[in-house]
Amino acid sequence: MMAGTPGLLRHFGNQRDLLVTFQTARVIDGYYCALQKIWRCGMSVKQNHVSQKISRRGLSVMVCLAGASLAVDQSLPADERASGAEHPLMPALRHAKSCLGKAQEMKGYECSFSKKEVVGNELISQTMKMKVRHEPFSVYMYFMEPSKGREVIFVEGKNDNKLQVHETGLAALIGTLTLSPEDSRVMAENRYPITKAGLKKMLESVVLQWEEETKYAETEVKYFEDAKVGDYKCRVIESSHPQPRKQFKFHMTRLWIDEKTGLAVRVQQFGFPKKKDAKPPMLEDYAFTEIKPEVRLSDRDFDVSNPSYNY
């Protein structure tokens, strides 16, 4: 699994200097009451009861988090709200599983893929063109930046389950390299092996993460509207945990869902801030754009003998 560059990903709506924060707490009789804190910026909001109904449009505001401005929509339709008896992550998990189902329906696809991730102590950014086939699991990558021209092929069950790598420049004189997906030279630039690449694998990881996190409290979920990834207008689901705990791998997770297709096109993962009030560090940012799900991929698309490739 790999992901996004800044140029693709930061296209958001107009900002207002108004931040609305919600916290929910369970009361003795087993129900939730809404405790609202509203900071006024050029307007006055009158609140008489904590159970006051709030219109969906009235709570669409702009929030700045980790360098990205997103339109918050905390008032979900009744069929999407977490009931008093269920974990706040459950509606988000249902959305993620729906996205996974749509990804599983695709036999294969072509796309542009961008990633930004911390490997060791280094932030690594890469962009590439990619072909993915689900059965048998196959991946072709053509690197755009950096290492333009590098090609990587992986086909599950072939070539001893190893990568076929074609480098550029002087390294190309060596010829095709056959490497394990977890070879140290490969993992020096990646948090995950190529066996975790693609939309479906990305969604599987998020679903497993959120399923595990529903076992624990200390979770807040927010919903953002009108965000963009490339040409995709997206809705963003953000889960976060206030305190570092051993059961939480990440402080904050963002899942970006294309409103038109229902496909998840971006995932961001943030670590816990080292200091109070500091921004959470971005650890993983993976984005898919220009997705072409109708292409017909064959064995030739994942063969080093393909004349369109430079092996």
Summarize pLDDT for 52-70 with one digit per residue, the tens: 333 333 323 223 333 344 6
Nearest-angstrom CA–CA distance, 301 and 195: 17
Phi, psi of 212, rounded to the nearest 5 degrees: -65, -40
Q: Verify cis geometry, omega within 30 degrees of 0, for the bond prior to 77.
A: no
Residue 106, CA distances (Å) to 60, 103, 178, 269 in order? 34, 6, 29, 25
Q: Which residue has the higher pLDDT, 236 or 26?
A: 236
Mean pLDDT for all residues in the chain: 81
pLDDT tens-digit profile of 148-157? 999 999 999 9
pLDDT at site 82: 60
Contact 99, 200 (CB under 8 A): no
Q: What size, in residues, is the chain?
A: 311
Q: What is the enclosing helix (H) or strand (E) of 12?
A: none
Confidence of residue 85 (pLDDT cuts 50, 70, 90): confident
Nearest-angstrom CA–CA distance, 221 and 236: 10
* Helix 199-213 / helix 90-105 crossing angle, nearest 10 deg: 160
Phi, psi of 240, rounded to the nearest 5 degrees: -150, 160
pLDDT at site 171: 86
pLDDT at site 173: 86
DSSP 195: G
Nearest-angstrom CA–CA distance, 9 and 174: 36
Minimum mean pLDDT among 12-21, 163-172, 198-207, 212-221: which range? 12-21
* DSSP secondary structure, 17-53, as one string: S--EEEEEEE-TTS-EEEEEEE--SSS------TT--
Nearest-angstrom CA–CA distance, 134 and 295: 13
pLDDT at site 10: 36
> Out of 3.20.20.70, 3.40.50.2000, 3.30.2130.10, 2.50.20.10, which CATH number does the structure's domain 1-17+55-311 have?
2.50.20.10
Contacts of 267 (CB under 8 A, 6+ apart): 3, 202, 205, 206, 253, 254, 255, 256, 284, 285, 286
Nearest-angstrom CA–CA distance, 222 and 285: 18
Q: Which residue has the higher pLDDT, 285 or 21?
A: 285
Nearest-angstrom CA–CA distance, 184 and 165: 14
Strands 32-38 and 20-26: antiparallel
